[in-house]
Amino acid sequence: MATFGTLSDRLTETFRNLRTKGKLTPADVDGTVREIRRALLDADVALVVVKDFTAKVRERALGDEVNRALNPAQQVVQIVNEELVAILGGEQRRLEFAKTPPTVIMLAGLQGSGKTTFAGKLAKQLEGEGHTPLLVAADLQRPNAVNQLQVVAERAGATIYAPEPGNGVGDPVKVSKDGVEYARRHQHDVVIIDTAGRLGVDAELMKQASDIRKATSPDEVLFVIDAMIGQDAVNTAKAFQEGVDFTGVVLSKLDGDARGGAALSVASVTGRPIIFASTGENLEDLEPFHPDRMASRILDLGDILTLIEQAQQAFDEEEAMKVAEKLANEAFTLEDFLEQLQQMKKMGSMKKMLGMLPGMGQMKQQLDDFDEREIDRTEAIIRSMTPGERRNPKVLNGSRRLRIARGSGMTVTDVNQLVQRFDQAAKMMKTVARGGTPQIPGMGPMGKPGASAKRGKKGAKSKGGSRSGNPAKRAAENAGMATANTTPTGSGFGLGGQQAPSEADLAEIQKLFGKG
């Protein structure tokens, strides 16, 4: 979440200073609130929102709920998290569909805010949910706006209604109204109307948008706002609310490098919920907006739930069962490995997925250095092999490896490294399939607490282990000691029990898919 990176860094540093304090004095609370206020203002959060937010945090931080807490610093972080969720809208709000189709969704916003791209993203997402959306090209002012929507619709695999060429020709109100009728006749259950924008708020824009709303009676009016436009976001949102009114907000360009904090103010200032967050240029880069998950990301507490949901969408359960069976039978091949890589690519950016893990905000440099193209290079090497070579890499002699390297545009060293990594990964997977504990170089043993790696070094005896003569008792005592030693100590702020991945962990993930 690049847009809120600076805010996240400032808040992380502020809370890190609290961890060493066993008890918070009023001076500690005031100092913390002061730093939070500065961080929010530097991130372009609206002043009225900042004042209200910090006042609530201070009041709760000085209250009894902190004084009675076992760890006051943790409680302050929890308070900030809860108040962040509140200014982001509280609870998630989904699209509301009409009882009698079609559901009409009107998009509004300034020119360049990302309305047309969002229209394609929304159409693609709705199609994936079993709907039959129709895109209506009602932006007839901006040059080539109709052509752009046609291209986006083709990429999304959606139907488009574009009777007018645009470029200043045609009546957008009539096109919108006719588009709804077209959808009704051709049994499209959702209509997405892409309206015109301007470089700034003006009376003509508001009148046109208002006329389209009156003519189509939309079930949802979504205000698309660029997360990077700064303080003007609040003024623009207020102007659209007064001129057209809207039922929900879409945050676009959340993958940008701007401060973007003004976007945090929209829900609080307008009282309208944020429904979607656009996090990239691809049509798949659209997420339902969860205030609690966004607050967790800003506070570097991770977003495991979104990560799990993306994995569930990308991975096929039947294919996963087949892979598990092959692992158990030691029949996992490079062909299977290639299929797994392709399924991982469906989940989207590897950097994005790693960024959802708790504590990853403290490893930004390592994330920036992570080369996602290595997955494509790995795929190219495997595709340059024959089916027989993929099934049995042991037949890869020198001449075969040279041919594969030339066919994939890589070097023989790259091919050798891939085969070595695959052998290591296959061994780990077989160990897991058998119920064992895998040993990853640089990461140590993984798995159940207390489990020891088989065939360990004879001289590597654990210190302080149980010496009981009863084998069952000895095993239980050793397991208990190992559990105590391996229990996570919490995240960067002392919340939760999940540890941030180490640099060695990230390096091993990089090695698994590409060059180290």
Among 39-53, 76-90, 118-132, 437-451, the least confident range = 437-451
The model's pLDDT over 42-96, given as tens digits with 9 standing for 90+, comes to 777 888 888 888 898 888 888 766 656 556 677 777 888 888 888 888 888 889 9
| Higher-confidence position of 137 and 315 | 137
Residues 6+ apart with CB under 8 A from 442: 504, 507, 508
The 10s digit of each residue's pLDDT in 451-497 is 443 444 444 444 455 555 555 555 555 555 444 444 343 333 334 43
Question: How confident is the model at residue 263, as a pLDDT?
Answer: 65
64 versus 365: which is more confidently predicted?
Answer: 64
Q: Alpha carbon of 418 to those of 154, 427, 433: distances in Å?
A: 37, 14, 22
Q: What are phi and psi of 51, to 5 degrees?
A: -60, -45
- How do residues 232-285 score in pLDDT, each as one tens digit? 777 888 888 888 889 999 988 776 555 556 667 888 888 888 899 887 788 888
Is the pLDDT at 442 greater than 50, yes or no? no
Query: Which range among 206-220, 307-321, 419-433 shows the weakest confidence by mean pLDDT?
Result: 307-321
Tokens found for residue 491 = 């995240």
Chain-centre distance of CA 368, in angstroms? 16
Q: What is the mean pLDDT of the chain?
A: 74
pLDDT score of 394? 85
pLDDT at residue 167 above 60? yes
Determine the pLDDT at residue 463.
Answer: 46
Q: Is the pLDDT of residue 334 over 70?
A: yes
Interval 492-514 mean pLDDT: 49
At residue 123, φ and ψ (nearest 5 deg) are -60, -45
Specify the higher pLDDT residue, 475 or 378.
Answer: 378
Predicted local distance difference test score (pLDDT) of residue 244: 86
Report residue 170: phi and psi, to 5°: 110, 160
With 50 as the cut, is the pLDDT of residue 296 above it?
yes
Both tokens of 113, joined, read 């805010």
- Quick one: pLDDT at residue 345? 66
Q: What is the pLDDT of residue 84?
A: 84
Confidence of residue 374 (pLDDT cuts 50, 70, 90): confident
What mean pLDDT is predicted for residues 11-34? 76
| Residue position matching structure tokens 């898919």 | 513
pLDDT at residue number 472: 54
Q: What is the mean pLDDT of residues 487-514?
A: 47
**Quick one: pLDDT at residue 491?**
39
pLDDT at 438 over 70: no
pLDDT of residue 290: 84
- How many other C-beta atoms can be found within 10 angstroms of the C-beta atom of residue 207? 12
Provide the 8-state DSSP code for 361: G
The pLDDT assigned to 465 comes to 54
In order of 48, 223, 272, 447, the CA distances from 216 in angstroms are 35, 16, 21, 58
pLDDT at 201 over 90: no
More confident residue, 447 or 468: 468
Q: How confident is the model at residue 516 (pLDDT cuts 50, 70, 90)?
A: very low
What would the pLDDT profile of 336-345 be if each residue is shown by its tens digit?
A: 777 777 766 6
pLDDT tier, 182 (very low <50, low <70, confident <90, very high otherwise): very high
164-179 average pLDDT score: 90
273/91 Cα distance (integer angstroms): 8
Mean pLDDT of 22-35: 81
How distant is the alpha carbon of residue 47 from its chain centre? 28
Token digits of residue 289: 């907006």
Give percent of the chain with pLDDT exceeding 70: 63
Of 378, 421, 415, 380, whose CA–CA distance to 399 is shortest?
Answer: 415
Smallest Cα–Cα separation from 331: which of 257, 228, 471, 426? 426
When pLDDT is averaged across residues 6-17 and rounded to a whole number, the result is 70
